Structures are given as structure tokens and as C-alpha cells.
Amino acid sequence: MKIVHITSVHRPFDTRIFHRECKTLAAAGYEVVLLTAGDVNATVDGIRVKSVGMSRSRIRRMTLTVFALGRAALREGAAVHHLHDPELLFLGFVLNTIGRCVIYDAHEDLPQQIRWKYYIKPWFRWPLARMAALVEWLGGRRFDAIVAATPHIAIRFPRSKTTTVQNFPNPSEFVSKSAMPYSERPQTAIYAGDITEVRGIREMVCAIELVPEPFDPSLVLAGEFTPPALLGELRKMPGSSKVKALGWQARQDLAEQLGRARAGLVVLHPTRSYRESQPLKLFEYMAAGIPIIASDFPRWREIVDGAHCGLLVDPLDPRQIADAFIWILTHPKDAADMGQRGREAVLRSYDWNTEAKKLLRVYDCLVG
């Protein structure tokens, strides 16, 4: 049974799309094709990845690229079309109208996310967010199934069609062969993911600068800057000499970096969208067995305090972030125990293998 996953925004080897969902479906015996706007044309781990080419402009991506992806999807003649981006919603309506089976994968709280897009004029964000909510509402009633990344996202769609498939890690990916004994690691904090102002990059850099001598702290960034000019601004900040920007990292490379870090940072700003989110990086740090320094949001407090695996801070206060990291550096035994409890919590409660079964049930219902 051939199925097609389609993304115009994400990388060809995106964690949720390729490493979680596509691999799970391929292992279950489905013929999986991933259509992307990247530059990869290859068969990897039994998944045929096909690119329609990248667009430099956002407008071209949302029009010409989406059209090219739709045309490629029709040529595949698949039984199920699984869409991963809001800008593919209109393609979903077309596929649904001509009788194709469509799944919409809601990764984010779209209306809330739009209200923080730096490239959208502030006066236009509210009406655009309302329009996006309406289009998703229509899609929820037209499409065959909805897959939501968190329970908070799921409540915006029809209960009878919606399955929550959460962004939990595969613990086996984060067993680093070269992991250093915790007490011997360099005094490094790591952040993995997209790097933006609203995700706390300025506060993280300021916090590293506030860690005093005789400590020798550093901040490793494993991700890409949005917008790219933000990297230039960061280099002008005090503390930038202690920052190492690695760019996007493959899964194994990220595991190696986590295996050399003392703490994982996830200090997203208190927007409504982030307060209700469940960032993958939070669970990846836990799976890697390192303590967490995280924003003190109610939902995150349930996870971090529930597992006793990290420290919670005001994400807008670099001093609190710095003090949390100093505590971790001065209490290596307690910090190592935190990391171990985090990994045990992932194995017990936040393991992708549980979510994989939910995803397979969605497909079994659609194609059975």
C-alpha cells in the first residue's frame, strides 16, 4: 500500500516526519514516499525521498512549490496523502475533492504561531490568524483524519477524526558511543532546534556571560538561525566568544553533542503557543540523560518536576538561567542523577514507540 507524505517547509530528514512517522510506516510494511521542497532524491531506510526543488522566496514556495508537490503527489497514485504544513491545506482540499484520502498533521497551534511571525506585519497577524483558524476548521471537517502533535492542538479539531501522536523521542537514538562521564564533561550547555529571539537566544547568550570565573562555560547551538541575520547580531553581544554555533545537526551528531554537555536549555518565551507546547528538544535532552534548564510553564513543570530531571526558570531573566547553570556545575552528582531520572522518565512515559502504535492505528482504520 503506497502512502505519500508531503512537506513544503520541513527538511527532507525532519525528525517528526522522516525519522518518526515515515520510518514507522515503512517498518510496518507500507511503501512510503516523502515529497519535499528540499534537494534530496534518494531512497533512505526504505523511504523514497523525492524533491521538487527549493524556492528562495516564501511566496514562490507557497504557490509554485505547493503546485509542484501536488502534481508529484497525483503522479504517485498513493492510497493516502499525509500533509505536514498549513500552506498545504488548499492542496488537501483539492485532493479530497477528487476522492483522495487525506491526513492533516497539525504540528503547531497555527493561529497562535502566526501572531509571533516576525515576517508578517503586526497589523495583519490577527486577521491572518483568524483566517488560518477557519481554514483549519474546514480541513478538520473535510479531511479523512487529523494527527495532532499535542493534546492542546488536538482540541481544535473534531474528536472523532483526531488522534494525538506526540513528539516523543526514540530513546535508542540518544545512546552516544562516545559519551563522556558526566563529571568529566566540559562546562557546556546546549540548545538544539531553530534559533530565534522568541526561543530565547538572547537570554541564553547573556546567561553564559553572567557565569563568573573560575567557571569556563560555553554554549553550543545545534540549529539554524531565523532570520539568518540574527547570527550577526549575536556575534556583537557580550558573551558571544563563549558561543559555538554548529548549524543543523544530523541525529547521530546531535546525540554525540548531547553526550558531551552538562545541561540542555529550553528557555522559550512565555507566548501562549509555547506555554501549551511540548518541545521535542525537552524530551531529547531527557533521553540523552542530561539535566534540563527550562521555562517555568505549568505544563513543563508537570514534566520536569514530575521526573525531577531539571530546573525551572523565568525564561526572560538571564540571571536565573545563569544561576541554574551554576548550580548544575557545582553539584555534578545531583545533576547527573537528574539526567538519569529524565532518561528513565522517557523510557517509562515519553517513548515514541507508544505514539507509533497510535499512528499505525490511524492508517489501519483508513486503509483497512
CATH number at residue 153: 3.40.50.2000
Q: Are residues 134 and 177 in the same domain?
A: no
Q: 43 to each of 124, 249, 302, how far by Cα in Å?
A: 41, 20, 40
Contacts of 283 (CB under 8 A, 6+ apart): 167, 168, 169, 346, 350
Longest pairwise C-alpha distance within the chain: 67
Q: What is the DSSP string of 66-109?
A: HHHHHHHHHHHT-SEEEE-SGGGHHHHHHHHHTT-EEEEEE-S-
Q: Are residues 17 and 45 in the same domain?
A: yes
Yes or no: say if 284 and 174 are a contact pair by the CB < 8 Å rule: yes
Q: What is the rounded distance in angstroms from the CA atom of residue 260 to the CA atom of residue 179?
A: 6
Q: 8 to each of 31, 165, 175, 336, how far by Cα in Å?
A: 21, 21, 31, 40
Q: Are residues 129 and 231 in the same domain?
A: no
Q: 29 to each of 35, 131, 132, 286, 316, how far by Cα in Å?
A: 19, 38, 35, 30, 47
Q: Are residues 295 and 213 in the same domain?
A: yes
Model pLDDT, residue 214 = 92
Closest CA to 133 of 1, 273, 303: 273
Q: Are residues 186 and 125 in the same domain?
A: no
**What nine digits make up the cell of 295?**
521555562
pLDDT tens for the chain, residues 1 to 368: 999 999 999 999 999 999 999 999 999 999 999 999 988 999 999 999 999 988 878 888 889 999 999 999 999 999 999 999 999 999 999 999 999 999 999 999 888 888 777 777 888 888 888 999 999 999 999 999 999 999 999 999 999 999 999 999 999 999 877 889 999 999 999 999 999 999 999 999 999 999 999 999 999 999 999 889 999 999 999 989 999 999 999 888 999 999 999 999 999 999 888 998 999 999 999 999 999 999 999 999 999 999 999 999 999 999 999 999 999 999 999 999 999 999 999 999 999 999 999 999 999 999 87
Model pLDDT, residue 114 = 82
**Phi, psi angles (nearest 5°) of residue 176:** -80, 130
Task: For residue 7, give its domain range.
Answer: 2-168+351-367
Q: Where are the alpha helices (DSSP H) in the chain?
A: 23-27, 58-60, 66-76, 89-97, 110-114, 122-142, 151-154, 201-210, 229-234, 251-258, 272-275, 280-288, 298-307, 318-330, 332-349, 352-367
Query: Residue 23 CB: number of other CB atoms within 10 A?
Result: 19
Q: Are residues 159 and 192 in the same domain?
A: no
Q: Are residues 343 and 207 in the same domain?
A: yes
Query: Residue 163 CB: number of other CB atoms within 10 A?
Result: 18
Q: What is the rounded distance in angstroms from the CA atom of residue 285 to the CA atom of residue 174?
A: 9
Model pLDDT, residue 337 = 98
Q: Are residues 209 and 299 in the same domain?
A: yes
Q: What is the rounded distance in angstroms from the CA atom of residue 311 to the CA atom of residue 308?
A: 8
pTM for the predicted model, two decimal places: 0.91
Q: Are residues 246 and 117 in the same domain?
A: no
Q: In total, how many domains does the chain have?
A: 2
DSSP 8-state code for residue 223: S
Q: Are residues 80 and 161 in the same domain?
A: yes
**What nine digits make up the cell of 307?**
521526573
Q: Are residues 289 and 343 in the same domain?
A: yes
Q: Are residues 158 and 182 in the same domain?
A: no
Q: 271 to each of 199, 201, 312, how far by Cα in Å?
A: 10, 15, 16
